[in-house]
């Protein structure tokens, strides 16, 4: 049986996740339980959603450096407006999705580098978040809290949510015709255009969809923490990019994998716990986290080379 | 020391940890800390190490491990707390990155039957204990001291901390209350010193030319030395500057005192409050009834105790006290 290149690209992230999980179970057998798994992975759910959002942006060859501040902003809206006056909250979040679509259009029409535009936007989102919540506070909407602390039978909610996110986005990105067009823009936007499609529309829709998933990330985060502050998710910018790359995605060419992205997010979260269980001093932890990333990426490069050699034969 | 006093001392020690030894010797306590990047936090971790190592070797508790997150982020500290739940600690002592964003993780810990004690950076989750500093009183005490030292009153320059942080608001409220109580004082200028000497020096140097004669400077800690430098650079007479227990501030104070009998006071929180939190957690595990909100006294240094405090303060550090089980019991019993 010949494996497709997509499957091959998924092997490394999946294998590293399993390996890390085995190591964590070995060190901390307590984690091998319903609550244990939930505690290990529940903070990975918002990261997975943010990673999916980042992956969508990356599928059209762009990069979103405002992901962390945008998720923080959404978390602040969720903990305040969405909880006290849901209609206004939903309007604000719809406005945020529209803003994302506009960003996509501006980047396309003016042919601007997305890094610069989103970096600028990160200050806008950060400022808005501080305006909404000048000091930490707010309350999680009851339903968000309920979803994130639900106790489904057999499988903890963190795992159920991860699988659901992976399945839904896999369908959107890999199976639907919109997904094909989106990846097509990343691969070769001129040919998509020549085929009669509106690239500007596709890009706007992609950005809007990314905004939607980032909003879900903010809501999920507030559901876990019960309240928000303006800096709550700043790390998500880099975590989401690392998650996409770790999961087999690439910066250009529309080569992305939703399942891989979710696995990447889980792996990153697990790596943090792993290092904490190892009792590695905090001075070394960032370095060690980086080392894990480099090892996985090196493995992937080696596999890519192998793949290429097979093709040329 | 005679044998009798030695005996008496050992009896006293035995009484102290006797009941604790029986109940908490198998318990494990963890410290969850969000930041280690300044002298205060370093002193806090050193104090924790010193006191808890002794407690562990005496068998008061089984373990007392400190953890610091690699980045000062609430999400990372939430993950750290969840990991501690998995590691099976009986109590978690927290200096929190955010008063509210950890509440979810802390609730998980409480639900797992873990005692959570927060200090310095406290949390609002009702199931956790809080050891807070009365920052308002700390601000008020500065003006009270000045009222005694300068009965005629005069102009005050206020150096505030980091804008938007609750501690800054509270100390400021205390100073405002003190000034309201002592109307002979008037705040003529206010700058943000961000609790750092260099920022304070720049800010004070910037506002000085526009100020009338300043009788005293009220501060929040970590900014007194910078203020003194700014006054010296502007060639203005040195007012009474309230210090904040940092080593450089105390050294400067000592120099001035030796030169011309300069008088002031110094006030801040002792980083050793981490050890107080440790003992409070131990007492709770021991089954003692402890109310959820405790107030820790701040550490102030006056003219007489300056030399002693300076001797015990490390270079580049902060004046510190470490708490004993007895001190903790006193704080717990205080009404």
Q: Specify the CATH number for the domain of residue B142.
A: 3.40.50.2300
Would you state the pLDDT for residue B186?
A: 93
Residues B239 and B144 in one domain: yes
A184: in domain: yes
Residues B175 and B255 in one domain: yes
B12: in domain: no
A34-72 burial: b if 16+ Cβ within 10 Å, else e: ebbbbbbbbbbbbbbbbbbbbbbbbbbbbbbbbbbbbbb
* pLDDT for residue B8 is more than 70: no
B97: in domain: yes
What domain range is B172 assigned to?
135-268
B37: in domain: yes
* Mean pLDDT, residues B201-221 taken together: 92
Task: Give percent of chain B above pLDDT 70.
Answer: 92
What domain range is A254 assigned to?
5-21+30-300
Residues B231 and B289 in one domain: no
For A140-144, A230-234, B77-81, B254-258, which range has the lowest pLDDT when averaged over its residues?
Answer: A230-234
| Mean residue pLDDT across chain A | 90
Q: What is the 3-state secondary structure (H, E, C) of A110-151?
A: CCCCHHHHHHHHHHHHHHHHHHHCCCCECCCCHHHHHHHCCC
* Mean pLDDT, residues B223-227 taken together: 91
- Segment B121-133, tens digit of pLDDT: 888 889 999 998 8
Q: What is the 3-state secondary structure (H, E, C) of B198-245?
A: HHHHHHHHHHHHHCCCCCEEECCCCCHHHHHHHHHHCCCCCCEECECC
* pLDDT for residue B233 is more than 50: yes
A191: in domain: yes
**Minimal Cβ distance to B101: which of A232, A276, A286:** A232
* Mean pLDDT, residues A31-54 taken together: 93
Q: Cβ(B154)–Cβ(B185) under 8 Å?
A: yes
Chain B neighbors of A130, CB-CB under 8 A: 164
From A25, which residue of chain B is nearest by alpha-carbon distance? B86
How many domains in chain A?
Answer: 1
The model's confidence at residue B321, banded by pLDDT at 50, 70 and 90, is confident
* Mean pLDDT, residues B220-242 taken together: 91
Q: Do A226 and B99 touch (CB under 8 A)?
A: no
Q: Provide the number of CB pairs (under 8 Å) joining chain A to chain B.
A: 95
- Segment B9-64, tens digit of pLDDT: 554 444 444 444 447 889 999 999 988 777 788 889 999 999 999 999 999 999 99
Q: Do A31 and B101 touch (CB under 8 A)?
A: no
Residues B49 and B93 in one domain: yes
Q: Give the minimum alpha-carbon distance from A182 to chain B in angstroms, rounded to a whole number.
A: 32
A206: in domain: yes
A313: in domain: no
A174: in domain: yes
How many domains in chain B?
Answer: 2
B1: in domain: no
Residues B35 and B86 in one domain: yes
A309: in domain: no
ipTM of the complex: 0.86
- Segment B137-195, tens digit of pLDDT: 999 999 999 999 999 989 999 999 876 566 788 899 999 999 999 999 999 999 988 88
The model's confidence at residue A7, banded by pLDDT at 50, 70 and 90, is confident
Q: Do A39 and B69 touch (CB under 8 A)?
A: no
Task: Give percent of chain B above pLDDT 90.
Answer: 52
* pLDDT for residue B4 is more than 80: no
Residues B262 and B164 in one domain: yes
Q: Cβ(B322)–Cβ(B51) under 8 Å?
A: yes
- Segment A194-214, tens digit of pLDDT: 999 999 999 999 999 999 999
B250: in domain: yes
- Segment A110-138, tens digit of pLDDT: 999 999 999 999 999 999 998 998 877 88
Residues B120 and B165 in one domain: no
A305: in domain: no
Residues B108 and B91 in one domain: yes
Q: Do B104 and A226 touch (CB under 8 A)?
A: yes
Residues B284 and B204 in one domain: no
A233 touches chain B (CB under 8 A): yes
Plot region of A267 (φ>0 → left; ψ -120 to 50 → alpha; else → beta):
alpha
* Residue A254: partners with Cβ closer than 8 Å, 6 or more residues away: A59, A60, A61, A182, A183, A184, A185, A186, A187
Q: Cβ(B135)–Cβ(B113) under 8 Å?
A: no
| Mean residue pLDDT across chain B | 87
CATH number for the domain that contains residue A274: 1.10.3470
* Mean pLDDT, residues A245-271 taken together: 91
User: What's the predicted TM-score (pTM) here?
Assistant: 0.81
A160: in domain: yes
Chain B neighbors of A42, CB-CB under 8 A: 82
* Helix ranges (DSSP H) in chain B: 3-24, 39-57, 74-87, 103-111, 135-149, 166-181, 197-207, 224-233, 247-260, 273-285, 306-312, 325-333
C-alpha to C-alpha distance for B98 and A233, rounded to whole angstroms: 12
Residues B107 and B186 in one domain: no
Would you state the pLDDT for residue B172?
A: 92
Residues B145 and B211 in one domain: yes
Residues B211 and B196 in one domain: yes
Would you state the pLDDT for residue B333?
A: 86
Task: Please give the angle made by the CA atoms of B54, B56 and B57, to the nearest 5 degrees.
Answer: 65
* Mean pLDDT, residues A288-298 taken together: 81
Chain A neighbors of B71, CB-CB under 8 A: 235, 286
B206: in domain: yes
């Amino acid at each position: 049986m010949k494996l497709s290149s997509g499957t091959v690209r998924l092997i490394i992230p999946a294998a590293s996740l399993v390996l890390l999980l085995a190591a964590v179970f070995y060190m901390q057998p307590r984690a091998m339980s319903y609550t244990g798994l939930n505690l290990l992975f529940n903070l990975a759910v918002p990261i997975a959603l943010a990673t999916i959002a980042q992956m969508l942006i990356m599928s059209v060859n762009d990069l979103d450096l405002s992901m962390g501040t945008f998720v923080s902003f959404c978390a602040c809206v969720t903990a305040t407006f969405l909880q006290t006056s849901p209609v206004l909250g939903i309007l604000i979040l719809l406005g945020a999705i529209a803003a994302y679509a506009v960003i996509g259009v501006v980047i396309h029409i003016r042919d601007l580098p997305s890094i610069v535009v989103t970096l600028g936007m990160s200050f806008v989102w950060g400022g808005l978040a501080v305006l909404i919540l000048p000091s930490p506070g707010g309350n999680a909407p009851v339903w968000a809290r309920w979803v994130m602390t639900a106790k489904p039978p057999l499988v903890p909610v963190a795992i159920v949510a991860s699988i659901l996110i992976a399945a839904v986005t896999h369908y959107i990105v890999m199976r639907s015709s919109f997904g094909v067009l989106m990846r097509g823009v990343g691969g070769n936007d001129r040919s998509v255009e020549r085929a009669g499609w509106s690239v500007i529309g596709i890009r706007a829709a992609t950005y809007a969809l990314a905004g939607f998933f980032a909003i879900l990330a903010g809501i999920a985060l507030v559901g876990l923490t019960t309240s928000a502050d303006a800096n709550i998710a700043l790390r998500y910018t880099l975590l989401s990019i690392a998650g996409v790359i770790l999961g087999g995605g690439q910066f250009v060419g529309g080569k992305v994998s939703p399942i891989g992205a979710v696995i990447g997010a889980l792996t990153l979260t697990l790596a943090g716990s792993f290092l904490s269980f190892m009792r590695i001093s905090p001075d070394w932890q960032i370095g060690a986290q980086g080392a894990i990333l480099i090892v996985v990426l090196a493995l992937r490069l080696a596999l890519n080379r192998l793949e290429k050699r097979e093709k040329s034969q | 020391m005679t044998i009798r006093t030695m005996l008496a001392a050992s009896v006293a020690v035995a009484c102290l940890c006797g009941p604790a030894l029986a109940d908490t010797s198998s318990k494990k306590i963890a410290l969850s800390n969000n930041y280690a990047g300044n002298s205060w936090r370093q002193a806090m971790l050193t104090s924790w190490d010193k006191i808890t190592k002794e407690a562990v070797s005496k068998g008061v508790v089984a373990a007392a491990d400190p953890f610091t997150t690699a980045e000062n982020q609430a999400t990372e500290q939430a993950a750290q707390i969840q990991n501690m739940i998995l590691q099976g600690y009986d109590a978690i002592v927290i200096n929190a990155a955010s008063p509210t964003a950890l509440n979810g993780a802390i609730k998980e810990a409480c639900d797992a039957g873990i005692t959570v004690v927060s200090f310095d950076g406290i949390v609002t989750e009702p199931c956790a204990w809080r050891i807070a500093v009365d920052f308002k009183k700390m601000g008020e005490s500065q003006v009270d001291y000045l009222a005694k030292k300068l009965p005629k009153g005069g102009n005050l320059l206020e150096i505030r901390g980091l804008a938007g942080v609750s501690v800054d608001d509270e100390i400021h409220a205390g100073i405002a209350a003190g000034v309201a109580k002592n109307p002979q004082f008037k705040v003529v200028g206010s700058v943000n010193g961000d609790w750092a000497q260099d920022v304070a020096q720049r800010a004070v140097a910037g506002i000085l030319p526009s100020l009338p004669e300043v009788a005293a400077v009220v501060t929040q800690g970590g900014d007194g030395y910078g203020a003194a430098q700014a006054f010296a650079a502007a060639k203005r007479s040195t007012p009474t500057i309230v210090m904040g227990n940092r080593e450089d501030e105390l050294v400067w104070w000592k120099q001035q005192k030796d030169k011309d009998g300069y008088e002031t006071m110094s006030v801040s929180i002792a980083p050793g409050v981490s050890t107080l939190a440790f003992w409070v957690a131990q007492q709770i595990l021991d089954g003692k009834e402890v109310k959820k909100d405790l107030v820790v006294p701040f550490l102030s240094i006056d003219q007489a105790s300056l030399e002693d405090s300076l001797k015990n303060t490390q270079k580049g550090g902060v004046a510190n006290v470490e708490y004993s089980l007895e001190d903790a019991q006193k704080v717990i019993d205080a009404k």
